[in-house]
Amino acid sequence: MAEDHWAPLADAFVDGAYASVKGRVRTYVLHRQLLRHLPSPPVAVLDVGGGAAHQSLPLARLGHDVTVLDSSPAMLSRAEERLRGEPEEVRRRVRLVEGAGEQADVLTGGRRFAAVLCHGVLLYQQDPRPMVDAVCRCTGPGGVVSLMALNARTLAVRPALERRWADALAAFDAATEVGVLGAETRGDTVEGLSALLRDGGVEVEGWYGVWLFSDWMELPLGTTDVAAVAEVELRAASQDPYRQLSRAFHLVGRRAGA
């Protein structure tokens, strides 16, 4: 049995990162941006590297049929825990599949989806192409592809704000960093991922920022107006220069066809 490299980080992701102000803002902002591109429910949605289903569970609540694919049994176990708290009509719309995202088309039996999400996954890949290629293969005619990636052009901001000046200087020429959970992460650009989507037959429809202000500040959950922060981030995410400065970016494409 393959080792689950994400098991030690499952609690940190679910109970830490996603439960924080920043995590809740991420889920909200991505959800609102997705709704601009998704058809009305019900359609079939695949969440590649979907973990504990933070991004796809809200879509199931709206009536979409969701498949969550993840290589980590520990993360899928946390998804199962979260599903137990949902009504039966929501639970039956969600299917959990274990396996590597690069084999998504095989693991889902060649099914084509109306929307395929891949959020916060590419930053852990040495080469994004195999994952993006798999996402594109799973997208049906007229279907939507949604990628969220680390912004390679803003890697110097975090160390600078933490007054780690030598690290900030080095980050201008770096492509990777150690993330807040201690894992090495890799940055991408809108242009680079757009080219990979085009190679997979998907044309870019729009792109947004994800975090700007909330990523650079300590925001205690109990004393922060999360809804207010989320609305500010949502507004900044769709206009320049703010979206260009975001910590991460959200790229949305669509495959041609009816």
CB 54 within 8 A of CB 27: yes
pLDDT at 62 over 90: yes
Residue 41 vs residue 6, higher pLDDT: 41
What is the percent of the chain where pLDDT is above 70? 97
Residue type, 77: S
Residue 100 located in a structural domain: yes
* Structure tokens given for 42: 């019900």
pLDDT for residue 235 is more than 70: yes
Side by side, the strands of the sheet bearing 113-119 are 94-98, 65-70, 44-48, 113-119, 139-150, 248-255, 202-209
Domain range spanning residue 114? Answer: 7-255
pTM for the full model? 0.93
Confidence label for 179 from pLDDT (cuts 50, 70 and 90): confident
Evaluate whether residue 2 is within a structural domain.
no
Could you read off the pLDDT of 190-201 as tens digits, one per residue? 999 999 999 999
- Let me know if residue 190 belongs to a domain: yes
Number of domains, the chain: 1
The pLDDT value given to residue 2: 63
Give the per-residue pLDDT at 50: 94
Alpha helix ranges (H) inside 114-225: 129-137, 157-161, 165-171, 190-199
Q: Following DSSP, what letter does each residue of 219-252 receive, concatenated?
A: --GGGS-HHHHHHHHHHHHTSTTTGGG-SEEEEE
Domain-located, residue 1: no
pLDDT at residue 222, rounded to an integer: 87
pLDDT at residue number 258 = 64
Q: Residue 74 is part of a domain; what is its CATH number? A: 3.40.50.150
